Amino acid sequence: MNLFSNTGGLPPSPPRSPPKRKRDRDDAGKGPQSWKKHRLFGLAFAQFHAFRRKFPNARCVIIDFNAGDGEGVDLAQGDLFGPNRSRATAELAAQQAATDNVFVILCEKQADRFAKLKEKYGTTPRVTIIRDHRDVVPLVVGFDYAIVLSDPCGPAGHGEDILGAVSRAVPKADFIIALNLHGVNRINGTHQSAEQVGRAGKANATSRERHGWKNDPYRWQALLGRRHMASSRVIPMSSTFTLQMLVIADFVVVKDSEFEVLA
Ligand SMILES: C[S@@+](CC[C@H](N)C(=O)[O-])C[C@H]1O[C@@H](n2cnc3c(N)ncnc32)[C@H](O)[C@@H]1O
């Protein structure tokens, strides 16, 4: 009997080790539905234009805390003239650097996305590209106004301590925060206590403490110390990402029907 008869005479290949687990939520913040998020960022960016109209000589900085690769995603084809793309946060921000007195800081941690940003905007005047939003605070000192876009892949990536520091470092600031409610609810739904479930339980408890509050808009408002706040409705983006966009500001001008003023 040929032991290898059903393998064409060749010894069977050894069992492959299972592929390395890739958690969907690691990249939950970017996907085919991202155009919805990009659209809301575009609407909320009215804050910046309103500020500029009122204070045309103010020194302004736009900070994209989580710039990604600067690429939009396909929009539905509405005509015969080629594909339409949404405008990612980095593009939204970098376009404004064409104006005097407006400076842009793009932050991106991942090396290949950082390289793409460099290729696109590396020589654009008044655009600075850095690897980590943790390094941004010294760069914003001396500006009259900052608008900050926070768009991480999950609740752990907002850099809320740095958002708070930016809020204190400039006299006027607006924040546009893309929350992943699904991510926060997942964290809040984890096991109860370290005593019950050992080390994993301890990690879960720490994670709940650090990020569990992030589904509460009023906690964000308190952290950033601004008078007003508006919120989008809750929008399902993917199986791991449910979006709620907050605008936290000194004065709220997002009057679009996509946003409701909360404070
Ligand atoms: C959801 S993606 C950004 C999507 C992009 N804003 C858009 O408009 O499509 C989140 C990005 O934040 C980056 N990131 C995470 N932590 C960071 C940090 N501390 N500083 C800078 N970028 C960070 C990730 O590498 C990832 O590319």
Tens of pLDDT, residue by residue, the chain (263 residues) = 455 555 556 666 666 665 555 554 556 668 889 999 999 999 999 999 999 999 999 999 999 999 999 999 988 777 777 778 999 999 999 999 988 899 999 999 999 999 999 999 999 999 999 999 999 999 999 999 999 999 999 999 999 999 999 999 999 999 999 999 999 999 998 766 555 666 677 777 788 999 999 999 999 999 999 999 999 999 999 999 999 999 999 988 787 789 999 99
Per-residue pLDDT at 196: 62
Distance 1 CA to ligand 1 centre (A): 59
Give tens-digit pLDDT for 108-117.
999 999 999 9
Residue 70 falls inside a structural domain: yes
Per-residue pLDDT at 11: 64
Q: What is the DSSP string of 227-254?
A: SEEEEEPPEEEETTEEEEEEEEESS---
Q: Can you give the residue range of the structural domain that contains 34?
A: 26-182+227-261
Per-residue pLDDT at 5: 54
Distance 171 CA to ligand 1 centre (A): 26
Distance 93 CA to ligand 1 centre (A): 14
Residue 79 falls inside a structural domain: yes
Ligand 1 environment, Cβ below 6 A: 29-30, 34, 38, 66-68, 88-89, 107-110, 113, 132-134, 151-153, 157, 159
Per-residue pLDDT at 202: 75
- Residues 84, 67: Cα–Cα separation, whole Å: 20
CATH number, domain at 75? 3.40.50.150
Q: Which of 118, 150, 125, 134 is nearest to 224 (CA)?
A: 150
Task: Give the helix ranges, DSSP H, for the chain.
Answer: 34-44, 46-54, 89-94, 111-121, 137-140, 160-169, 181-188, 194-211, 217-224
**CA of 234: how far to CAs of 26, 35, 259, in Å?**
21, 15, 10
Residue 190 falls inside a structural domain: no
Residue 11 falls inside a structural domain: no
Residue 210 falls inside a structural domain: no
- Residues 108, 117: Cα–Cα separation, whole Å: 8
Instruction: Among 108, 158, 166, 211, say which to mutate for ligand 1: greatest number of ligand atoms within 8 Å of CB.
Output: 108
- Pick the residue whose CA is nearest to atom 10 on ligand 1: 152
pTM of the complete model: 0.88
- Which atom in ligand 1 lies closest to the alpha carbon of residue 34? 9
- Pick the residue whose CA is nearest to atom 6 on ligand 1: 67
Residue 97 falls inside a structural domain: yes
Distance 155 CA to ligand 1 centre (A): 12
- Pick the residue whose CA is nearest to atom 18 on ligand 1: 132
Residue 214 falls inside a structural domain: no
Q: Are 134 and 162 in contact (CB under 8 A)?
A: yes
Residue 196 falls inside a structural domain: no
- Which atom in ligand 1 lies closest to the alpha carbon of residue 149? 6
Which H or E run includes 129?
Answer: strand 127-130
Strand 241-249 to 259-261 pairing: unpaired
Q: Can you read off the two tokens belonging to residue 217?
A: 């808009």
Per-residue pLDDT at 139: 98
**CA of 249: how far to CAs of 47, 173, 175, 246, in Å?**
8, 6, 6, 10
- Which atom in ligand 1 lies closest to the alpha carbon of residue 27? 1
Instruction: Measure CA of the first residue to CA of the last residue in the chain; give whole Å.
Output: 80
Give tens-digit pLDDT for 162-218.
999 999 999 999 999 999 999 999 999 876 655 566 667 777 778 899 999 999 999
Q: Which of 44, 91, 96 is nearest to 69 (CA)?
A: 91
Per-residue pLDDT at 105: 98
- Residues 154, 179: Cα–Cα separation, whole Å: 8
- Residues 47, 176: Cα–Cα separation, whole Å: 9
- Pick the residue whose CA is nearest to atom 7 on ligand 1: 88
Q: Which of 262, 250, 245 is nearest to 44 (CA)?
A: 245
- Which atom in ligand 1 lies closest to the alpha carbon of residue 153? 1
Domain count, the chain: 1
